[in-house]
Amino acid sequence: MSRCLELARRGLGYVNPNPLVGCVIVHNNEIISEGWHVAIGQAHAERMAILALKDRSILSECDLYLNLEPCSHFGKTPPCADLILEHQFKKVYVGLLDPNPLVAGSGIQKLQEHGIQVETNILADECLTLNRFFYKFHTEKRPFVTLKWAESKDGFLAPLPIQRFQISGVGTTEITHALRLEHAAILVGVETWNIDQPLLSNRLFEGPSPKKFVLDPNLRGNYTIDSEVVVFNRKKTESNGLIQYVQIEEFDMLQGIMRFLCDHQLNSLMVEGGSKTLQSFIDANLADEIHTYKSKTGMIGGGIEAPKHQFDKINEVDLPDDIHMKFNRIS
């Protein structure tokens, strides 16, 4: 199952809104074939592993391992449960059940009804962590929201008057770009947009960049860039070249944004600033995960304070200039 998870991670950034899935075929306690879901619309992990095996006549003597329940419905590809039945595997090991209502246990049920043994809940915590975006999307009908910011040693994001200000040091860029690769969408507030004119792209790793959004209720942004961006606002819905304006009519703009992202099958959102925007997601109980880079030595002495939260710290990494801390919401 650990190997399934390793293989599944190869689909990071390519499979959204589908889950990350890896598959291993075992014969006489030896791995003889592997596969993973490479990209949205392409063959699922089970099919990739089966097709990679030259001698498929031995599959009825093999066990199959998956970090997520095989699908049982027709989507962009045929049901994987049917493919497993076709080759009559001895036993199937599944990390977690699929939360998608179109599956939700029916894949396992189909296998069992046709005489295939199935064992579930293997490395369940690891499987859930890997596909936390997928689970959030299907169980709560909203995107998984990750917040990220850098703060000085004394707890500020920037001095006053507001200006572009570099806090984080060596090693933080790689972490940020890896997070961007994972997420389907990324958002900043209008102040951050105007001051920093951020690219918000994944430029360090092979793979796509998240779809870009700006929260700009009163349309104060300077949108002169040469790449696509969606602007959430209170005033209009229209397109102007690469800039798409989307009017949010709900009183609570964040709920309107969540609805828009769900409607467009964007299962994860990374929020990078500024302080007011970050704090609004925390206060609305919409944040799920927080990444901070706290400077070891850099002091500001006053200005824009870092957001306040009561999340659980689950990891801390010592970088050359900063401490990278990861927090999860309290269950």
Q: Which tens digits make up the pLDDT trace of 278-290?
A: 999 999 999 999 9
CA atoms of 225 and 130, how far apart (whole Å): 34
Q: Which residue from 180, 200, 183 is spatially nearest to 192, judged by alpha carbons?
A: 200
The pairing of beta strand 185-189 with beta strand 229-233: unpaired
- Note the pLDDT of residue 73: 65
**204 CB-side CA count, 13 A:** 12
Residue bearing the bigger pLDDT, 164 or 15: 15
How big, in percent rounded to 5, are the helix, strand and coil portions of the chain?
30, 25, 45
Domains 2-136 and 141-328 share a fold: no
Q: Which residues does the annotation mark as catalytic?
A: 46
If you average pLDDT over residues 309-324, what whole number do you get?
96
Q: Which residue from 293, 287, 288 is spatially nearest to 319, judged by alpha carbons?
A: 293
User: What's this model's pTM, rounded to 2 decimal places?
Assistant: 0.93
pLDDT digits (tens, 9 = 90+) for 266-313: 999 999 988 999 999 999 999 999 999 999 999 999 999 999 999 999
Say if residues 228 and 244 touch (Cβ distance below 8 Å).
Answer: yes
Domain-wise residue ranges, the chain? 2-136, 141-328
**54 CB-side CA count, 13 A:** 0
Residue 326 confidence (pLDDT) above 80: yes
- Note the pLDDT of residue 207: 87
DSSP, collapsed to helix, strand or coil, labels residue 194 as: helix
pLDDT digits (tens, 9 = 90+) for 7-34: 999 999 999 999 999 999 999 999 999 9
| Joined tokens for residue 3 | 């190997």
- Note the pLDDT of residue 284: 97
Q: Which fold has domain 141-328?
A: Dihydrofolate Reductase, subunit A (3.40.430)
Say if residues 31 and 24 touch (Cβ distance below 8 Å).
Answer: yes
Backbone angles phi, psi at 154, to 5 degrees: -95, 15
Q: What is the band of 317 on the pLDDT scale with cuts at 50, 70, 90?
A: very high
Q: What is the band of 106 on the pLDDT scale with cuts at 50, 70, 90?
A: confident
DSSP, collapsed to helix, strand or coil, labels residue 300 as: coil
Residue 225 confidence (pLDDT) above 80: no
Q: What is the band of 75 on the pLDDT scale with cuts at 50, 70, 90?
A: low
If you average pLDDT over residues 110-114, what whole number do you get?
88
Considering only the top CATH level, what class is 2-136? alpha beta
Residue 330 confidence (pLDDT) above 80: yes
| Joined tokens for residue 143 | 């995107």
Say if residues 208 and 13 touch (Cβ distance below 8 Å).
Answer: yes
Nearest-Å Rg of the Cα atoms of the chain is: 22
The pairing of beta strand 63-68 with beta strand 30-36: unpaired
CA atoms of 269 and 252, how far apart (whole Å): 17
Sign, CA torsion 251/17/76/116? negative
The pairing of beta strand 229-233 with beta strand 243-247: parallel
Helix (H) or strand (E) holding 276: helix 275-283
Q: Which residue has the tokens 């709560």?
A: 140
- Partnered with residue 30 across adjacent β-strands are 27
- Note the pLDDT of residue 280: 97
Say if residues 15 and 40 touch (Cβ distance below 8 Å).
Answer: yes
Lowest mean pLDDT across 220-229, 279-288, 314-323: 220-229
CA atoms of 88 and 219, how far apart (whole Å): 59
DSSP, collapsed to helix, strand or coil, labels residue 121 as: coil
- Note the pLDDT of residue 245: 97
